[in-house]
């Protein structure tokens, strides 16, 4: 029901989606569909700030980050050895592409803007996205904020730009649409995909107190879908080990050091990636010798030799809690009359090769979370 690029980016609806009403057929940044008592929002633009064509009105916007100030004060500064830089939209634009190495920019701001006019245009798109997100007469609002196409060429500052695509999530999202039952909680779902190691599905609770029961729901999913997921493990293991090895090899060749304090000085993005891998590998690593290239490679193989590795997790990769703070999510949900929200990170292997299973997992989770 959707058209996707060869890399899994959402491009446009396909004929099978005609049962839904497209609210924004002419917007180059996202599509909004209503149907089945639900709203579906699929991003089309790149999330990278210098992957755009301003003249054509195609902007680089990360919809899962905060609306920045143009050139004002900020709670965050960035220093890569030349003195502290205020993290705002104007400085983001002035320091591209180098700023892409540093999560002080990429993890906080929705976009870069070199002029006030450019800032205003991007702010309008960003605010439109959230208008559709929060103002929907629907029981469920499902959004894929990072499903858009990435056209940026690789360089030393961002050697893997296509990894920023939350690939194949659009095909999963449309499979999640089911006629809703009355009397259930209203829920907002932010759907992503990732190539982080070792997990098929990671649920983020956004730190919302009303999500205390999500832990039990995840445990039940683990049991209910264990057989279906186990059948995919051999192929997934081969793919994700090969992919992760290639990423580690690039870091080794580029910087030759995996210690977080060293990576912080050259690429906080790489530091974050290594930190997440170390967190997942856990006791598969020999921590006495620090974080090394060979130690990480051994850990990749050792991980799969251990019994009972969880394939569905809660808050293991991305909890969404920082994003919730950036977006003032709790207040926004309350104002919109939405009961709760969850973030779902699917393995790209799962979204690409088993989208029906991915959708079944998500539907089962939402049935439990949205129960009266």
d(CA 253, CA 249): 6
Nearest to 59 by CA among 42, 44, 72, 40: 44
SS3 of residue 32 by DSSP? strand
d(CA 263, CA 272): 9
Please enumerate in sequence order all residues whose Cβ is within 8 A of that of 334, keeping only pairs 6 or more positions apart, or say none.
none
DSSP letters spanning 170-210: HHHHHHT--PPPTTS--EEEEEEEE--TT-SEEEE-TT-GG
Please give the structure tokens belonging to residue 10.
Answer: 């959402």
User: What separation, in Å, do the N-terminal and C-terminal C-alpha atoms of the chain show?
Assistant: 31
Ranges of each domain in the chain: 233-305
**Full-model pTM:** 0.94
Please enumerate in sequence order all residues whose Cβ is within 8 A of that of 131, keeping only pairs 6 or more positions apart, or say none.
none
Nearest to 360 by CA among 225, 267, 254: 225
Strand partners, 142: 40, 189
**116-134 and 329-336 helices, crossing angle to 10°:** 50
CA distances from 195 to 172, 237, 273, 274 (A): 16, 12, 10, 13
d(CA 78, CA 117): 25
Per-residue pLDDT of the chain (372 residues), as tens digits, is 899 999 999 999 988 776 788 888 778 999 999 988 899 999 999 999 999 998 889 999 999 999 999 999 888 999 988 899 999 999 999 999 999 999 999 999 999 999 999 999 999 999 999 999 999 989 999 999 999 999 999 988 888 899 999 999 999 999 998 877 767 899 999 999 999 998 999 999 999 999 998 999 999 999 999 999 999 999 999 999 999 999 999 999 989 999 888 888 888 888 888 998 998 898 889 877 789 999 999 999 899 887 778 899 999 989 999 999 999 999 999 999 999 999 999 999 999 999 999 999 999 999 999 887
SS3 of residue 265 by DSSP? helix
């Amino acid at each position: 029901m959707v058209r996707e690029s060869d890399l899994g980016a959402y491009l446009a609806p396909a004929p099978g989606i005609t049962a839904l009403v497209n609210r924004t057929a002419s917007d180059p940044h996202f599509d909004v569909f209503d149907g089945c008592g639900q709203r579906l929002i699929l991003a089309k633009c790149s999330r990278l700030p210098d992957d755009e064509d301003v003249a054509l009105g195609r902007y680089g916007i990360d919809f899962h980050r905060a609306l920045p100030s143009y050139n004002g004060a900020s709670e965050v500064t960035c220093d890569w050895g030349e003195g502290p830089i205020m993290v705002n939209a104007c400085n983001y634009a002035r320091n591209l592409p180098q700023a892409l190495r540093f999560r002080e920019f990429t993890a906080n701001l929705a976009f870069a803007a070199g002029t006030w006019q450019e800032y205003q245009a991007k702010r309008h798109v960003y605010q439109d996205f959230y208008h559709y997100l929060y103002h929907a007469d629907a029981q469920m609002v499902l959004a894929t904020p990072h499903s858009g196409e990435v056209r940026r060429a690789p360089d030393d500052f961002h050697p893997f730009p296509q990894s920023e695509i939350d690939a194949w999530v659009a095909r999963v999202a449309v499979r999640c649409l089911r006629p809703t039952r009355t009397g259930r909680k209203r829920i907002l779902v932010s759907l992503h995909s990732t190539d982080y190691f070792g997990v098929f599905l990671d649920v983020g609770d956004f730190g919302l107190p009303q999500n205390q029961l999500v832990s039990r729901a995840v445990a039940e999913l683990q049991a209910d879908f264990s057989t279906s997921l186990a059948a995919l493990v051999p192929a997934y293991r081969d793919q994700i080990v090969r992919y992760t090895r290639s990423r580690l090899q690039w870091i080794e060749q580029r910087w030759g050091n995996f210690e977080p304090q060293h990576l912080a000085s050259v690429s906080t993005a790489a530091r974050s990636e290594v930190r997440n891998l170390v967190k997942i590998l856990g006791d598969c690593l020999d921590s006495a010798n620090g974080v090394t290239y060979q130690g990480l490679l051994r850990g990749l193989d050792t991980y799969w030799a251990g019994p009972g590795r969880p394939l569905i997790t809660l808050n293991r990769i991305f909890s969404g809690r920082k994003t919730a703070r950036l977006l003032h999510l709790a207040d926004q949900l309350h104002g919109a009359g939405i009961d709760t929200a969850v973030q779902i990170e699917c393995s790209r292997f799962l979204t690409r090769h088993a989208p029906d299973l991915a959708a079944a997992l998500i539907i089962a989770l939402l049935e439990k979370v949205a129960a009266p």
